Amino acid sequence: MIKAGIIGATGYAGQELVRLLLQHPQAEIVWYGSRSYIDQNYYDVYKNMFRLVDAKCMDDNMEELAGQADVIFTATPQGLCASLVNEEILTKTKIVDLSADFRIKDVEIYEKWYGIEHKSPQYIGEAVYGLCEINRERIGGARLVANPGCYTTCSILTMYPLVKEGLVENNSIIIDAKSGTSGAGRGAKLPNLFCEVNESIKPYGVTNHRHTPEIEEQLGYAAGEPLLINFTPHLVPMNRGILATAYANLKPGVTGKQIQAAYEKYYADEYFIRLLEEGAYPETRWVEGSNFVDIGYKVDERTHRVVAMGVIDNLVKGAAGQAVQNMNLLFGLPEQTGLQLVPLFP
Amino acid sequence: MIKAGIIGATGYAGQELVRLLLQHPQAEIVWYGSRSYIDQNYYDVYKNMFRLVDAKCMDDNMEELAGQADVIFTATPQGLCASLVNEEILTKTKIVDLSADFRIKDVEIYEKWYGIEHKSPQYIGEAVYGLCEINRERIGGARLVANPGCYTTCSILTMYPLVKEGLVENNSIIIDAKSGTSGAGRGAKLPNLFCEVNESIKPYGVTNHRHTPEIEEQLGYAAGEPLLINFTPHLVPMNRGILATAYANLKPGVTGKQIQAAYEKYYADEYFIRLLEEGAYPETRWVEGSNFVDIGYKVDERTHRVVAMGVIDNLVKGAAGQAVQNMNLLFGLPEQTGLQLVPLFP
Amino acid sequence: MIKAGIIGATGYAGQELVRLLLQHPQAEIVWYGSRSYIDQNYYDVYKNMFRLVDAKCMDDNMEELAGQADVIFTATPQGLCASLVNEEILTKTKIVDLSADFRIKDVEIYEKWYGIEHKSPQYIGEAVYGLCEINRERIGGARLVANPGCYTTCSILTMYPLVKEGLVENNSIIIDAKSGTSGAGRGAKLPNLFCEVNESIKPYGVTNHRHTPEIEEQLGYAAGEPLLINFTPHLVPMNRGILATAYANLKPGVTGKQIQAAYEKYYADEYFIRLLEEGAYPETRWVEGSNFVDIGYKVDERTHRVVAMGVIDNLVKGAAGQAVQNMNLLFGLPEQTGLQLVPLFP
Amino acid sequence: MIKAGIIGATGYAGQELVRLLLQHPQAEIVWYGSRSYIDQNYYDVYKNMFRLVDAKCMDDNMEELAGQADVIFTATPQGLCASLVNEEILTKTKIVDLSADFRIKDVEIYEKWYGIEHKSPQYIGEAVYGLCEINRERIGGARLVANPGCYTTCSILTMYPLVKEGLVENNSIIIDAKSGTSGAGRGAKLPNLFCEVNESIKPYGVTNHRHTPEIEEQLGYAAGEPLLINFTPHLVPMNRGILATAYANLKPGVTGKQIQAAYEKYYADEYFIRLLEEGAYPETRWVEGSNFVDIGYKVDERTHRVVAMGVIDNLVKGAAGQAVQNMNLLFGLPEQTGLQLVPLFP
């Protein structure tokens, strides 16, 4: 059994990790870290866990935890993982960091977009960007995995084959994304109150959301050159789910057939990516509770653009599910172990 | 592997059965019955099942199905199971009927409340009421199990120990129940449209909802005498979940300690029933997607009443989960097989 | 024009008062009081008011306000109005208090249920309980009106005629109430976050909600003797609306005809109370945004009980609308002035 | 008093017209047309109207209605108005058509996108496109007003000043729109059931939604040349509201100052258009129930694009409110008559 510790176990992503690891046949949770709820029963924080988890919340002591756990998940605010990690810890255990600390290779970009100083830039280089479908081979041997962001996972996977195959104008990409409210976290903030979110939709972080450079970096690797995108997230009155609607100008002469071929080339054998049949578009309800990414597209002959659409459950493939997928890779398990989840509907 | 056939696989309860059986280690689905969608891909009806189910919908041919399946689940409108079942079928296979056809022992009451003629009253006697926590020993040997209704499961389990132990005035029981909208089924009816249900709560079936006699019969068995209740269901703008808030006058001298003891006597060892700690009340969110029943109560010294509250996921413990629990009993499997589901939150 | 000041203008009830007074033909708002947002633009707190309100939030200075306003609305936490009011203020202006401070005549009951000391018990006697349909004649001449609570308005009006006419057993009344989330206020608290409220229903304040003694006192006046009830509120995932489902044992021999006659006797001529036709039950969606109370009932011959149901918009008839109705009475205006609001649906 | 008849009074837009006209000081409704509910009480179809409307639904007899009404609103499916209108009717009364029949000047485009034959193309020429803020002067003298679509109203008003002033590359415009579910109408269709819409977001009509050519035509007039756009609508789990997020490449050298100046030039004096302050973006909740259009924008220096965002209540400014605004213009009333509605929140 893989011994897993969670730092930040009482956020929504942390709790989802608990849900997935409890159902994982080869993992057990040895540490429920939560600074806010130290010494409280975990099930008092999340009553769905009553009678399922019989542990108390513990402090964020990564050093001690490193001695007990085979893998540490950090589902914490930006900056925390970078401030705690060190050589001794990385020698003892593996880390899957769900924060943004090690996602962006250019530390200046990280510091500019996040507005904080990076406390351990020396590990940025070795950290592997844990988007399993793309970086699978490099994850297995890593000590430190940077688990991708929710919007970024959905956005990158939706556009990757088209960019990789050079079918679209790189700088024409516009991603209009929509997220359920669990993406905003469990902090007690007025804008996230039920009555403020319900019966409304709003854009936010227009032109400056922090997931923008992460998408640009990864799609830039695929393109073989830097690129700039527009990314606009929106808050939707639902609990879970992200939909990315991406627009791009096709390069001259590119046809729908080539688009289809590109998606199949990269995703036909991927268990977690479901390429929808022609004319079908993804809807968040069909992936809820699962690690699936549903992708569809439509070529617009009139404007010579492609509209590509992808959906994920932001807490699963966008956070905890992908983290477990990375854990599986780190420990040589079949990638789907504990993740063959049938989406819950309705 | 248990071969399972489903008649009515494209209703919400039928689809939930599919979800649970796909994740069940010792069952496989051999028949996706659906008169409305014959020959269509099951995943076109429920796109969450894309790439998970590769079968087409089939007709409601119970005779043919009986030759192929070890167990048949009928998740169909009232009257259908009773019109199809016969001796030959019951000799070949077992039936778990999710409709009301075999729940009520007095056929006159059935016909009066449901307004239809019962087509095979000869099987009412042998049918076992499949409320596992109460009728467990009798289910194992049955050929025909009447899977309880959603409201009834929640209502009966919430009140059973108090009635059984004679702590409350039997005819004082009032149950005010609230259900998510999946309980209304997937029929395309105006009152169930999003804009009609959203941002509203309403009572319906006041004094004449069909689950009333079912609750009365079962609680009557517990009481050792017939009893009458008031039962009022309400429609809540959410997908899943039932909350039953039950009121009863305590018999003279009855104390909170006795109430607590009664609940513990019957439920302390039940895996699927979680007795909440003192002062905690159940909320539907904490059982979503699981087979749990959460129960709490409060004694009101001022009025000498008890307020007992229970919640379930109407599609799981209120339908498909309980059906699988019954299947497990029918085939001698541990009752929790395939049902150790961690509630999905948020 | 009536000059109105609002203390607590940035809570949900305060904001609803602003909405109603802006549309009132004979009132103008002269003071937007809000301790939390002093000197901020009111429209920055509620952006629906952009270009409609050009004022900044001000402190809770009731003394100064008394010199400027013909009427002061206090939409503030319990205890504040009682701590600010004094003879000088009451000489200069009229007060409609939306808090509970002056609703309960027995100060000991108030202090016990609210857990705070009453700072000006000397005004409890003269304060008029502002349930207009019942206390209409006494409100006109008052200096201080205690605006009823949301649950209480709905509960009392639903049961009043039956109690007043002596048709039900007084101590048998059980009220199971359901409220939208705006009733919980705009405080940034974890339990009121979107993801915590959405897709769930829960009971709270079981046997000890503060509106209980208020309902008991008022129904007790109607009954001509003290009575005890059970009152259980529930939180529903919607913004607005309260539904009260009330149960009571009919006195021997009481018939449905008498129930109907009682409702007609008291409500047939009330503009804001809509007695539904036989067989129709109230739903919160049909009163949203309006000052209406919709009431329906069903007599259960089997159990000899009546199930009476009422709905209101908790922010209108349950708070701001009733406050304006009281203002109209205080200033001799037709009671419907500014309140002929067509319910907004969907 | 203006005598108004409504054909299609029982759809959501028709019902919203009823709500607005009931509160309009100079209009009265003389005809509640609804083929589906002939001879039924209007309040039985919409119970919010109980005691407010005392009329029965009538047939779609436009000829007879023309003799009784000063203005006829047709809130009907595409094709109906075109099939009923004739010279005699237009001589007797004015028509505000809420369907698409007379919106598009090129009948071939209409027939291609809507898939139906136009039955009275002879009136397309004289029909005035009723986007009041842009076509105000031409509406006053019209006999037949084509009330704009919901998505189109929001999309066009959001982009109009930028296109009109030549600040953006015309063929670069991409509009990603999101709508509440009332836009899908009140038909009893499975995809619009509560459980299908709730907890999900989906795109639909990708590249071929019928509002596309309407937006293109109107923005083409503003641009002085034909243009092509991408328009993608999405269904959001809420009742009301449309958000259009529009992207366009700025022409070389164009600055944020010019964008601001363009919006102010056209909208500074418009009552119903609220230009938000810098850094504020529109949210649908702030316009609910009102005729307002809230618009904000952000220039992205990195990509040299503008992201312009607009919101409306789809049933008000997107349908019934704009229809009343057109009626006011037709009859020489101040444009805001009956439309000074304070948005309802929460």
Question: What pLDDT is stored for residue A205 in this prediction?
Answer: 98
Mean pLDDT, range A305-314, rounded to an integer: 98
Within C24-170, strands assigned E span 27-33, 71-74, 94-97, 128-129, 144-146
DSSP state for residue A58 in the 8-state scheme: B
| pLDDT value for C293 | 98
Using a CB–CB cutoff of 8 Å, tell me whether B202 touches chain D.
no
The whole-angstrom distance between C211's CA and the closest CA on chain B is 15
- Interchain pair C285, B200: CB under 8 A: yes
Give the separation between CA C294 and CA C287, rounded to whole angstroms.
7
B/C interface, count of CB pairs below 8 Å: 147
Tell me which residues of chain D have a pLDDT lower than 50: none
The neighbour count for residue B78, using CB atoms within 10 Å, is 17
Nearest chain C residue to A180, by CA? C195
Active site residue A150: yes
Q: What is the pLDDT of residues A223-255, one digit of tens each?
A: 999 999 999 999 999 999 999 999 999 999 999
CB-based contact B192 D196, cutoff 8 Å: no
Min Cα distance D237 → chain B (Å) is 8
Give the whole-angstrom CA distance, residue C264 versus residue D5: 34
Confidence at residue B216, expressed as pLDDT on a 0 to 100 scale: 98
Chain A residue numbers touching D281 (CB-CB < 8 A): 202-204, 206
* CB contact B204 to A (< 8 Å): no
The span from the CA of D19 to the CA of D313, in Å, is 14
Measured distance CA(B278)–CA(A48) in Å, rounded: 17
Q: How far is B346 from chain A (nearest CA, A)?
A: 6
Q: Specify the pLDDT at position D165.
A: 98
**Chains touching C, CB cut-off 8 Å, 3+ pairs:** A, B, D
Chain C partners within 8 Å of B240 (Cβ): 199
Q: Mind listing the pLDDT tens digit for each residue in C145-161?
A: 999 999 999 999 999 99
Partner-chain contact D195 B12, CB within 8 Å: yes
Closest CA in chain D for residue B47: D196
Q: Which positions 264-323 of C are in contact with B (Cβ < 8 Å)?
A: 281-285, 288, 298-300, 302-303, 305, 307, 309
**Predicted local distance difference test score (pLDDT) of residue C111:** 97
N residues, chain A: 346
Predicted pLDDT at D320: 98
| Alpha-helix runs per DSSP H in C225-291 | 256-267
Inter-chain contact D345–C46, Cβ cutoff 8 Å? Answer: yes
Q: Does C24 touch chain D (CB under 8 A)?
A: no
> What secondary structure does DSSP assign to C292-319, as a single string?
-EEEEEEEETTTTEEEEEEEE-TTIIII
pLDDT of residue C64: 96
Residue in C48, C285, C290 closest to D342 by CB? C48
- Residues from chain C that touch A197, judged by Cβ atoms under 8 A, are 194
Look at D194 and B197 and tell me if their CB atoms are within 8 Å: yes
Select from D284, D300, D309 the Cβ nearest to the Cβ of A200: D284
Look at residue A340 in the predicted model and tell me its pLDDT.
Answer: 97
Quick check: A194 and C239 CB within 8 A? Answer: yes
CA distances from A266 to A131, A133, A271, D335 (A): 13, 9, 12, 57
* Residues of C designated as active site: 150
Looking at the DSSP bridge assignments, the partners of residue D129 are D146
CB distance C211 to C231 below 8 Å? yes
Kindly determine whether residue A202 and residue D303, on different chains, have CB atoms separated by under 8 Å: no
Tens-digit pLDDT profile for residues C167-190: 999 999 999 999 999 999 999 999
Which pLDDT tens digit goes with each residue over A198-221? Answer: 999 999 999 999 999 999 999 999
Stretch C46-55: mean pLDDT? 98
Contacts 24+ apart (CB under 8 A), C56-61: C56/C32, C57/C9, C57/C10, C57/C32, C57/C33, C58/C31, C58/C32, C58/C33, C58/C34, C59/C33, C59/C35, C60/C7, C60/C8, C60/C33, C60/C35, C60/C84, C61/C33
Token pair in block for residue C290? 């309006």
Parts of chain B with a pLDDT under 50: none
In terms of DSSP bridges, do strands C94-97 and C128-129 run parallel, antiparallel, or are they unpaired? unpaired
The answer to whether the CB atoms of C47 and D280 lie below 8 A apart is yes
Q: Give me the residue from D202, D203, D300 closest to A207, CB to CB.
A: D300
Q: What's the first-to-final CA gap in chain B, in angstroms?
A: 34
Determine the residue of chain B that is closest to D199 in CA distance: B239
Distance separating alpha carbons of residues C3 and A193, to the nearest angstrom: 33
ipTM of the complex: 0.97
Q: Do A230 and D178 touch (CB under 8 A)?
A: no
The two tokens of residue D303 are 């990509």
E strand or H helix at B256: helix B256-267
Neighbours of C301 (CB within 10 A): 11
Q: Min CA distance, B252 vs chain A (Å)? A: 34
Interchain proximity D199–A232, CB inside 8 Å: no
Domains and CATH numbers, chain A: 2-126 (3.40.50.720), 151-314 (3.30.360.10)
- Residues of chain D contacting residue B238, judged by C-beta atoms under 8 Å apart: 198
- The amino acid sitting at D261 is A
Q: Which residues of C touch A284 (CB under 8 A)?
A: none
* Percent of chain D residues past pLDDT 70, beyond the cut: 100
Distance between CA atoms of residues D113 and D107, nearest Å: 10
Nearest by CB: D176 against A176, A198, A282 = A176
Nearest-Cα distance to chain D for C219, in Å, is 28
Residue C275 CA: distances (Å) to CA of A199, B284, D51: 29, 33, 10
Residue type, B205: G
Q: Quick check: C345 and D15 CB within 8 A? A: yes
**Which one of C12, C181, C195 has the shortest CB-CB distance to A239?**
C195
Whole-number Å distance between alpha carbons of A84 and A61 = 9
User: Among A19, A51, A294, whose Cβ lies nearest the Cβ of B274?
Assistant: A51
Q: Which residues pair with D95 in a beta bridge?
A: D72, D144
The reply to whether residue D286 touches residue C239, judged by beta carbons under 8 angstroms, is no
Catalytic position from the list A57, A150, A154, A195:
A150
Average pLDDT, chain A: 98
Question: Cβ atoms within 10 A of the Cβ of D285, count?
Answer: 26
D240 interface with C at CB cutoff 8 Å: yes
